Structure 1
C-alpha cells in the first residue's frame, strides 16, 4: 500500500515533522464547504418544492424500448408532445388525472391515475398498429429477489387504476388500457405479447431499498450496456443479445442476475444494499493452508465477508499466462490460486484481486523504454527508495495490465482492485520524464482513460473494478500531483478505496488537536464525510482502515480498530477493508457473523488474544 504522502505542499506523515499550516487550511476549507453546503441545501429545498407537482411521463416502443418522440400525451384534456427522449414534464394541480397517449402508427393507451409514486413518473409502452397484443393490467413488476411477487395473494395491494375502455374491471381491460402502481417508483403501463418472456426489449425504473430512484446503475448482458440517469429509468435492447441473463448492479448494492426468459416488457427493479467488509491477504508473509484456514475461520465467525488477495506487486504470485509479464520475468508463482479461490468460493467469500499497476521496477528495468526516465541522466528514473516506475502515459502498459486483470477475473475473482494507479510522489520529481508534458490534465486523463478502458474490458467477465487512492484525495479538490482526482475517477470504477490510515496523515491534519493516529474515529469520519460530499453519496466509498502499529505511535487494538469501523458505518460507506501486512487481525474489534452488533460483546478470551505482541515490521506493540 502507499506510504506517507510527500510533495512540496504537504510534509511527510512522520509525527516528528508537523505541518502547522494544515489546521488553518482545513478550517478554511471547512468554512467554504459549510457555506457551499448551506447554499446547496437551500437550492435543493427550493428545487424539491418545485418538483413536488412535476409529473414525468416517458413513452417508449414496446418491442424495442426505444424512446418515442412527438407522441401526444393528453392530461385532463391538455395536450403535450414528448421530446427527443420520449419525455414530457408537466405540473399538475390535483388527482385524478385522465391520460391518453397516442402516436402515429401506434395503438393509443388511455387510463386514469388516482395515485402517484414518490417519483411522480411512469413509462407508457405503445405497440405498433399491425401487431396483436393483450393488455396485462394489475400485474406486478417481476420480482427477481426470490420473494413472492406482489399481488399473488388476496391481501396484496393492487394497482390503483380505472379502465376507460368500457370493459369494466382491470381484469377484463383491453389492450387500450393503462394502470398506475402507487407503491413503486414507476407507475406502469404494461403490454405484452402472448409470450411475454420472449420480448426484444424491456424498460423500467430501478430504485433503492427505500424506493428512491438510483442513478448510475449498470444494466448489461456482457456486450450491451445501459446506465440509469437521475430518475432511475432505463431501457435495454434484447433483440441482438444471446445472453442467458441480464446483470443489474451499482456500487454499494447487491447484484441482480435476471434470466432473459423472465424478462417482460416493463420491469421495476429494487436493489438491496451490500457492504463489503474485507481483510487483506499477503502471500509474501503466509501462504500455507494453515494460514488460509485461519483467515477463512475469521471470516466465517465475524462480520467480515471478503478477502483482498495480492496477485501482483512487482512479481505476479500465480501462474499467469499473460506473455508480456512471462517474458519480463515477473511471473513467479507462490500460491495455488485456483485452489485458494475454490476454498473461498466454497465459503461464499467475496474475492478481490489486488493488482499493483505502475510501481513496477521489474518491468521498468527489463524494458527501460517503458519506464519513467530521468531527464538529466537519460537513465531510468528512481524514487527515494531506488524503485523504478513504469510510465503511466503509455498505452502498452495499460493493455498488459488490463489483460492481467481480465485473466484474474476469468479465474473467478469477484473484483479487481488496482493499487498504485497513480504517478510517483517521492524522489526528485523535477527530473521525471514521461514523453508528454507532466500537466494535471495529462495526469488525470492517463488515470481516467486507463480505468475507463479497464472497466469496459471487465464488464463481460462479471467482475467489478475498484481503485486504491491516497487518503488526501478525500480532502482536496485537485489531483494531488499524482493523477488522482476523486470526482474524475469515480465514473469509471465501482468502488474507490481511500487509504485513510490515521498514522499516515501529518500532525494536526484535518484540524485535529494532535496526530490523527490518536484520533481513529475522527480521522475516518472527517475524511469519509468529505469524500461523500464530493461524490454526492458514500455508496461508492470503501476505505482501507488501519489494523497495524506504526513505528512509535500509539498501538492499535480493539478500541482503535472498532472506532474506524464505526466511523464508516456512521458515514454510510459501502463497507471497509482492514490492512495488516502480516495478516494478523484484531478479531475482538469485529462484530459477529450475523451482524447483530447491538447484542455483541467480545469474550474475554477474544480480547486477550488481541493484546499479544505481534512481530514483524510496524507490528510490535509499544507499552
Structure 2
C-alpha cells in the first residue's frame, strides 16, 4: 500500500550551491550563497565512502567507525536557517564503501565471476534488498530530519546504473525485478519521516530517467509518488528537454520539482 503523504510543505523553486561541512562550520557557506545568488545550500553529509559528517547514534555506524565527532553542525544549521537559507542534506545510500568492505548482511553486489563489482567510478555497492542496510539508511535519515535540514536528497537510493552493470550476477541481492525492491526502501523512508517537516527528494542521472529506470529500478513513476523534488545530473547524451518530457509524463511539475546541476564560476549550482 502507498504510504500516507508526508506533512512537509510542497517544494518551491530554488537555486542552490554545493558547500562543504567546513564551510558550514566557519560561516563561509552563507557568503558563498550570497555571492552565487543562491537561496539554498547543499552539503554532502554521507558520501560514497560511508563517512558520516555528524555524531550519529546509529549502532552500525559506530561498528563501522564512520561516525563524526563534530558536535557543532546542528548549531551551524540553526544559524543559517535564521538567515533564511534553505538547508539541503545529500545522502549517498547504497553506494557505500564502508558497508561494502564489511559486507554487512552479505549485501555486497558481485560479478558473475564471483568478484566484487565496481561501478565506473571504482565504487562498490551494497544491495537495496538487504533489510539491515535499508534500516541503517532509514535511521540516518530520521536523525538528519531532526537536525534542522529542510530537505534530504537521497543519491544512489536504487540499484547501480552506471558502469558494467551487465556483468552483475543475478541473485537475491540483484533480482531481475528491481523496481519493487527500490519502492520498498522509499516506502520505509517515507513512513519513517511521516509527520516531519523535511522534504524527501532523489538525485538521479538524466540518462537513467530517459531509459525509464529499467537498470536502477528508480522509475519516473516512483519519483512522482515518493519524492518532492528530483535533482538531476546530465551528460552529453541526455538533454534537459528529454528529462523534462519524461518527468512531466509521470505527473511531476518540473517547474517546481526539477533541479538540474550546472557549473558556474567554479561552483556547482543547482536550479
TM range (shorter): 0.7 to 0.9
Is contact 2:24–2:77 with CA below 8 Å preserved after alignment? no
Aligned to 2:233: 499
Aligned to 1:338: 74
Aligned to 1:578: 269
Is contact 1:283–1:334 with CA below 8 Å preserved after alignment? no
Q: Following the alignment from structure 1 to structure 2, what is the Cα–Cα distance between the partners of residues 463 and 469?
A: 19
Is contact 2:25–2:76 with CA below 8 Å preserved after alignment? no
Is contact 1:447–1:489 with CA below 8 Å preserved after alignment? no
Is contact 2:208–2:216 with CA below 8 Å preserved after alignment? no
1:334–1:296 CA distance, 2 compared to 1 (3 A):
farther
Q: Following the alignment from structure 1 to structure 2, what is the Cα–Cα distance between the partners of residues 433 and 380?
A: 13
Residues 432-477 of structure 1: CA deviation (Å, up to 9, x unaligned): 35425631xx31112112112111111222211001111124433x
Q: Following the alignment from structure 1 to structure 2, what is the Cα–Cα distance between the partners of residues 491 and 397?
A: 23
Would you tell me which structure has more strand in proportion to its own residues?
Answer: 1
Q: Following the alignment from structure 1 to structure 2, what is the Cα–Cα distance between the partners of residues 423 and 225?
A: 25
Residues 80-134 of structure 1: CA deviation (Å, up to 9, x unaligned): xxxxxxxxxxxxxxxxxxxxxxxxxxxxxxxxxxxxxxxxxxxxxxxxxxxxxxx
Aligned to 1:322: 58
DSSP 3-state at the match of 1:380? coil
Would you tell me which structure has more helix in proportion to its own residues?
Answer: 2
Q: Following the alignment from structure 2 to structure 1, what is the Cα–Cα distance between the partners of residues 147 and 226?
A: 23
Aligned to 1:363: 99
- Alpha-carbon distance, 1:333 to partner: 4.3
1:412–1:524 CA distance, 2 compared to 1 (3 A):
same
* Alignment of 1:484 onto 2:218: yes
Q: Following the alignment from structure 1 to structure 2, what is the Cα–Cα distance between the partners of residues 407 and 293?
A: 23
Aligned to 2:201: 466
Is contact 1:319–1:331 with CA below 8 Å preserved after alignment? yes
Is contact 1:418–1:466 with CA below 8 Å preserved after alignment? yes
Q: Following the alignment from structure 2 to structure 1, what is the Cα–Cα distance between the partners of residues 25 and 196?
A: 29
> Within 5 Å, which residues of 2 pair with 1:237-252?
249=9, 251-252=10-11
1:436–1:354 CA distance, 2 compared to 1 (3 A):
closer
Aligned to 2:147: 411
Aligned to 2:136: 400
More RCO (CA 8 Å, sep 6+): 2
Is contact 2:8–2:199 with CA below 8 Å preserved after alignment? no
Q: Following the alignment from structure 2 to structure 1, what is the Cα–Cα distance between the partners of residues 185 and 62?
A: 22
Q: Following the alignment from structure 1 to structure 2, what is the Cα–Cα distance between the partners of residues 437 and 288?
A: 40
Q: Following the alignment from structure 1 to structure 2, what is the Cα–Cα distance between the partners of residues 412 and 578?
A: 22
Q: Following the alignment from structure 2 to structure 1, what is the Cα–Cα distance between the partners of residues 45 and 156?
A: 14
DSSP 3-state at the match of 2:90? strand
DSSP 3-state at the match of 1:452? helix
Q: Following the alignment from structure 1 to structure 2, what is the Cα–Cα distance between the partners of residues 532 and 505?
A: 21
Which residue among 162, 169, 173 is the counterpart of 1:432?
169
DSSP 3-state at the match of 2:175? coil
TM-score, normalised via structure 2 length: 0.84
DSSP 3-state at the match of 1:325? helix
1:505–1:333 CA distance, 2 compared to 1 (3 A):
farther
Q: Supply the RMSD in Å over aligned alpha carbons.
A: 3.0
Aligned to 1:308: 42
Q: Following the alignment from structure 2 to structure 1, what is the Cα–Cα distance between the partners of residues 157 and 193?
A: 17
Which residue among 253, 276, 281 is the counterpart of 2:14?
276
DSSP 3-state at the match of 1:578? strand
1:297–1:541 CA distance, 2 compared to 1 (3 A):
closer
Q: Following the alignment from structure 2 to structure 1, what is the Cα–Cα distance between the partners of residues 178 and 218?
A: 8
1:248–1:543 CA distance, 2 compared to 1 (3 A):
closer
Aligned to 1:452: 187
1:432–1:410 CA distance, 2 compared to 1 (3 A):
same
